[in-house]
Amino acid sequence: MIDKLEFFLALARERHFGRAAEECGVTQPTLSAAIRQLEDQLGVILVNRGSRFQGLTPEGQRVLEWARRIVGDTRTMREEMRAARKGLSGHIRLAAIPTTLSMVPLITAPFQEKHPDVTFSVLSTTSLQILALLENLEIDAGLTYLENEPLGRVTSVPLQIEQYHLVTAVGTPLSDRESVTWKEVSNIRLCLLTADMQNRRIINQHFAEAGAVATPTLESNSMIVLFSHVRTGRWASIMPYNVAKSFGFHENIRMIPIVDPDVRHTVGLVATYREPFTPLVSALLHEARMLSERNAAR
């Protein structure tokens, strides 16, 4: 039953029998047969079929919720038993919005020092995608904004407060200022994150509050791309102070606070609420709380 539910989860994610079979490491006929056996066992049709996958039935949607819960609990049980036998080991899958990527080593480095048999993978993505990945059991935790948009049923640990700065080269417009307003920043050549990023939605909101509109001439989903363009002296950008500082800007780059309004937003670690947590996620949350305490003490 657990294997069949795993196959069903993969099919719901991929929405394609062939890709789901490939993800599960089985042939397409094997996966299709397992889904039909699951339907026979439950006495309902789970998948609308034609020449290809056409979505889940209403019963399939309900079983999907149960499958996530059952498979999640099963993975937790297996991981807990493995930890009891061998100590903490395994793999942690993280996803982070671009503005939090510089924070990831502040968690992974001390964690790995304490638990050397644990490995990590880190994905850079949007805040909405992080929530979808958590729901589908494709990641263990994410780093994202905590206060601006609904998070659903998650456990969260606040880690850092973002304060927005204009990041610009010396000798460019506004570079000689000690502070600038959102309205003033709207009038210069900007490179910003793409519109699907929550950071960009927040920036657009604050421009609107100042009676202005952001019209960047370059957009990217990568902070490295933005940083590289700022260094040319032809673009400025808007970045949280801690993110800008992490790039190690040289003396020719200035970071200027943006005021009117002076805004701050909290970012942190989120994980799907579950009792008990897997040993890996429990240890990860503990490490995040320790980082939060260190940041609060500064």
For residues 99-109, give the mean pLDDT. Answer: 94
Average pLDDT, the chain: 91
pLDDT, tens digit, for every residue of 9-62? Answer: 999 888 899 999 998 999 999 999 999 999 999 999 999 987 788 889 999 999
Quick one: 174 and 256 in the same domain?
yes
Tally of domains in the chain: 3
CATH number of the domain encompassing residue 233: 3.40.190.290
CATH number of the domain encompassing residue 37: 1.10.10.10
Indicate the residue among 80, 110, 145 that finishes a domain.
80
Quick one: 70 and 205 in the same domain?
no
- Burial class from Cβ neighbours inside 10 Å (0-12, 13-18, 19+) for residue 99 reads buried
Quick one: 145 and 285 in the same domain?
yes
> Peptide bond preceding 261: is omega within 30 degrees of 0, i.e. cis?
yes
Is residue 83 predicted with pLDDT exceeding 90? Answer: no
Indicate the residue among 28, 48, 80 that finishes a domain.
80
pLDDT score of 249: 64
pLDDT score of 82: 80
Indicate the residue among 80, 97, 131 that finishes a domain.
80
Quick one: 121 and 238 in the same domain?
no
pLDDT band at 118 (very low <50, low <70, confident <90, very high): very high
Quick one: 14 and 152 in the same domain?
no
Question: Where is average pLDDT lowest: 68-77, 125-134, 265-274?
Answer: 68-77
pLDDT score of 85: 76
Residue-range definition of the domain harbouring residue 292: 88-160+266-297
pLDDT, tens digit, for every residue of 205-258? Answer: 999 999 999 899 999 999 999 999 999 999 999 999 888 888 776 678 999 999
Quick one: 259 and 212 in the same domain?
yes
CATH number of the domain encompassing residue 110: 3.40.190.10
Is residue 136 predicted with pLDDT exceeding 90? Answer: no
Quick one: 177 and 147 in the same domain?
no
Quick one: 150 and 273 in the same domain?
yes
For residues 72-79, give the mean pLDDT. Answer: 84
Residue at 150: amino acid letter: P
Question: Where is average pLDDT lowest: 74-88, 251-265, 277-291?
Answer: 74-88
Q: Please calculate the CA angle 32-71-39 and round it to the nearest 5 degrees.
A: 35
Whether the pTM exceeds 0.85: the reply is no
Quick one: 225 and 177 in the same domain?
yes
Quick one: 193 and 257 in the same domain?
yes
